[in-house]
Structure 1
Amino acid sequence: MESQSSDINEAIQASGEATLEQATKKAKEEINSFFNVRLDIAVTGESGSGKSSFVNALRGLKDNDEDAAPTGVTETTTEPTPYQHPTMPNVTLWDLPGIGTPKFKAKTYLKNVTFDRYDFFLIVSSVRFRENDIMLAKEIKKKKKVFYFVRSKIDHDVQSEKRKGIDKKETLSKIRTNCEEELKRIGNPNIFLVSSWDTSKFDFEKLIGILESELPQNKRNTLLQFVPVCTVAILEKKVRMFQKIAWAAALLSGAVAVAPVPGLSFSCDMSIVGSFFTSIYHSFGLDDKSLKRLSERVNKPHLKSLKMSPLVEKLIKISSLRLGASALGEFLCSLVPAAGSAAAAVISFTTTRNVLLKGLDALAEEARKVLREAGLE
């Protein structure tokens, strides 16, 4: 019990609060933020720049998937169009009309697309950044919001130049230099070279890293949850994020265990465990749709036959048995005033934390195996 008390004291200390009650309140706020904080991302640029394909890539979809943003050789977006993330309804990517089109002239563009709605802007171009892009960036900057330049369709450029005998490194250097020259009037903005077809290549991971570091704290976890797992580095960032949130979830479990209500602690713990494992399952790209898309992208058909949902079901079943066994002890302790209630909190915290972390480890290892099989180590 002394070791368990030490664990919960460590969790209280990590929260930055002085008491279990204060730490639990903070944990509740963090859990609510983790699952519910909204993130609205604007993807804009001139027509034909690949905005819609990039929206699809960020949502982990291909252009021909159901619910994907429509794409084409002509402007397909005529109004700001919201696309919810397939598994996170609090994340919306907005496919904005091309700047400079008759209905969305550059000077009134931000007003017409409801500027204040978005957390940040991604300005996309597939050839070169033009006057309208620069004008838009300046206006966004005036209004004290953040923007990033995304040079899309890089895979096409690399292949095209390769046919001329120009290697990938030289092509990327030339494109980056050209972009920097085009945008020098607005200082030294971040420029990211990306392929919507294959987010494991070029600057996609770098883009996510910059966004994560520059977003407000309560938005960072939301961003990291929804971005597709295309590299080991992104996966490991997600693992560390879920490790941190597991402590907050366990603290909530400990607080509920204090109440002498039969079944309350078990019911609460199972709700926490179910939500936690389901979020990991989707965030790590272990759901059937994500595995199918990965299989097609890396041309490894056997990946689509992997079924990870039975593992999640097994983890929840095992968790149910462990939590059920501890729930009886928690309830009996909670009947004893003061010391008994504290013991119940410690038992519940420790059991829930261990269940969550062991389940996370199992799912993370499966995700690492998938990346190895896909050749994305």
Structure 2
Amino acid sequence: MDTEQIPEILSEEVIQEIKTALENKTLTEAIETVNGILTDIENVPLNIAVTGESGSGKSTFINVIRGLDTDEEEGAAETGVVETTMEPTPFSHLQFKNVKFWDLPGIGTPNFKADDYLEKVNFSQYDFFIIIASERFKENHIHLARAIHSMNKKFYFIRSKVDVDLESSRRRRSKSFDEENTLQQIRENCSESLRDGGVGEPHVFVLSLLDLHKYDFNNMQNTLEKELASHKRHILLLSLPNITLQVLEKKRETLSKLNWLWAFLFSAYSADTNPGNHTKGSKVLQVVIEKHLNIFGLDNRSLIRIASAFGKDVNDLKSVIKSPFVSTEINQGVIQTQLTTSVAKSRILAENFLSYIPIVGNLITRGVSFFRSYLMLGDCLKEFTEDATNVLRKVLEDST
């Protein structure tokens, strides 16, 4: 079993709360406790501030990172070559409404002052800042970064429109052009100008906002993941668009850390003497599988959206998907069929499970219902990751 399945997104306080519930409370009270914790994890707020000079692409970045296909979709941040944002404007993630990207007023105005700017945009409400520039980073960017640092907030720099620079260099130096060398020069020039301005060791990521999966997107995701608190990291990973293989695998990893809680709910409902709660157990698994399908972009609505965005036939995308949950209506019958296939493996897992999960009390070790559901959820996540990977490769096969 992977050690990644240990639930490190849960704080020690929450772990203790679950342990107390399992050991000292009734079955109904323990179910209520775990349900409440899962709800809190799903609804943790994440507020990301995005700023830069007008025309740098900050609004486009917000639209792309939220999963919008164009800047003209309903609910998109307004874009333009002149400043269109006068007040901090929140844009919620399409799936996770608790994740908000704030489009802040541009910092290139003549009366810009970093300290006043941060006060006006209510800097304390943001988890971190992203500062975007389409060319070089200027004095305004440096002043803002230093002010953010003085207030103990994290900030990251994005050098946007790097695809334009690469194409220009390719045309002017057709014989000696080297893409990776050119990218590294851009990174180093940006970092050097920021260090010269007193920023220290800045995090600089070069991106194409029209092809976000290229260049430094994975590096940016790794950095944010490393520097965010674990509960914020979890919701950030889930909210990222499914545009790289690494993102898909990270989503599988973070979701797998909660499988034991979902499995506990199933086994607890199954152990209840009230027949109605047996149905609730299957419903728990149905709901979580539907959520996971949506997170990996494998639900029908997401597949239609992806096919439209990349000019593909949705049936071509579905042809590379193997999971039965994608092609079949998810109901209690399908859930029970999948659970049945996990029986043999669950007996083996039960013998070794206690050394990997920090809290397993008598409530969830009765019979094999816990282990069956735990294994089924793990298998589903692996299948969904593989299917989403195949879909991603399919939509990008003519675009790379």
TM-score, scaled relative to structure 2: 0.77
Q: How does 1:1-377 map to 2 (within 5 A)?
A: 21=22, 27-28=34-35, 30-61=37-68, 62-101=70-109, 105-165=113-173, 166-184=177-195, 185-270=198-283, 272-287=284-299, 290-291=302-303, 294-295=306-307, 301-303=312-314, 306=317, 311=326, 313-322=328-337, 342=363, 345-375=366-396
Cα deviation code 1:28-77 (max 9, x no counterpart): 46522431111111111122211001111110112222222111111111
* Gap change, CA 1:322 and 1:210, over 3 Å in 2: same
Distance 1:248 1:343 in 2: 10
Q: CA deviation at 1:312?
A: 6.5
Distance 2:305 2:168 in 1: 25
* Gap change, CA 1:303 and 1:176, over 3 Å in 2: farther
Cα deviation code 1:201-245 (max 9, x no counterpart): 000111011111110011111001010111112111111222221
Q: CA deviation at 1:288?
A: 5.1
Is residue 291–residue 304 contact of structure 1 (8 Å, CA) maintained in 2? no
* Gap change, CA 1:216 and 1:353, over 3 Å in 2: same
User: Which AA in structure 1 matches 2:178?
Assistant: D
Cα deviation code 1:241-266 (max 9, x no counterpart): 22221112112333344432221242
Taking only aligned residues, the RMSD between alpha carbons, in angstroms, comes to: 3.3
Is residue 269–residue 278 contact of structure 2 (8 Å, CA) maintained in 1? yes
SS at match of 2:157: strand
* Gap change, CA 1:290 and 1:154, over 3 Å in 2: farther
Is residue 312–residue 395 contact of structure 2 (8 Å, CA) maintained in 1? no
SS at match of 1:41: strand
* Gap change, CA 1:105 and 1:342, over 3 Å in 2: closer
Distance 1:349 1:83 in 2: 39
Match of 1:6 in 2: none
Is residue 77–residue 96 contact of structure 1 (8 Å, CA) maintained in 2? yes
Q: CA deviation at 1:310?
A: 7.0
* Gap change, CA 1:223 and 1:11, over 3 Å in 2: closer
Q: Which moved more, 1:245-254 or 1:140-149?
A: 245-254
Distance 2:186 2:86 in 1: 29
Q: CA deviation at 1:196?
A: 1.3
Q: Which moved more, 1:168-177 or 1:23-32?
A: 23-32
Distance 2:333 2:140 in 1: 57
* Gap change, CA 1:261 and 1:286, over 3 Å in 2: same
Cα deviation code 1:106-133 (max 9, x no counterpart): 3300110011111111111111111111
Distance 2:106 2:53 in 1: 4
Cα deviation code 1:262-319 (max 9, x no counterpart): 212421441x22332232222212245654565566x552357645897165344544
SS at match of 1:42: strand
* Gap change, CA 1:291 and 1:130, over 3 Å in 2: farther
User: Which AA in structure 2 matches 1:32?
Assistant: T
Distance 1:324 1:290 in 2: 26
Is residue 114–residue 147 contact of structure 2 (8 Å, CA) maintained in 1? no
Distance 2:110 2:23 in 1: 55
* Gap change, CA 1:21 and 1:123, over 3 Å in 2: same
**How many residues were matched structurally?**
351
SS at match of 1:163: helix
Distance 2:299 2:271 in 1: 36
% same residue: 39
Distance 2:280 2:150 in 1: 50
User: Which AA in structure 2 matches 1:311?
Assistant: V
Q: CA deviation at 1:346?
A: 3.9
SS at match of 2:275: coil
Structure 2 unpaired stretches of 5+: 25-29, 341-361
User: Which AA in structure 2 matches 1:57?
Assistant: V
Distance 1:60 1:169 in 2: 27
* Gap change, CA 1:81 and 1:267, over 3 Å in 2: same
Is residue 33–residue 218 contact of structure 1 (8 Å, CA) maintained in 2? no
TM-score, scaled relative to structure 1: 0.82
Is residue 273–residue 316 contact of structure 1 (8 Å, CA) maintained in 2? no
Is residue 81–residue 95 contact of structure 1 (8 Å, CA) maintained in 2? yes
